[in-house]
Amino acid sequence: MSSNRQENLRQMREAHRRNLQRSLEHRMAVARAKGDERLVRILEAEAEYIG
């Protein structure tokens, strides 16, 4: 595989990870604002899973 393609794949994976993290942070903020501690715990576990 060419190094350019590998770099593109690396960048896409990193962008995907950042998007997941940003979405998760928003979902956690909403859950906390609503006082939904059960959902907060679930989302915290998800955060640990995705790193």
3-state secondary structure string, the chain?
A: CCHHHHHHHHHHHHHHHHHHHHHHHHHHHHHHHHCCHHHHHHHHHHHHHHC
pLDDT in tens, 22-49: 999 999 999 999 999 999 999 999 999 9
2: confidence class by pLDDT, cuts 50, 70, 90: confident
pLDDT beyond 80 at 1: no
> Which residues form the domain of 41?
3-50
Q: What is the pTM of this model?
A: 0.80
Q: Would you state the torsion angle of the CA atoms of residues 36, 40, 41, 45, taken in this order, to the nearest 10 degrees?
A: 150
Q: Which pLDDT score, from 0 to 100, does residue 50 have?
A: 87
Q: How many domains does the chain have?
A: 1
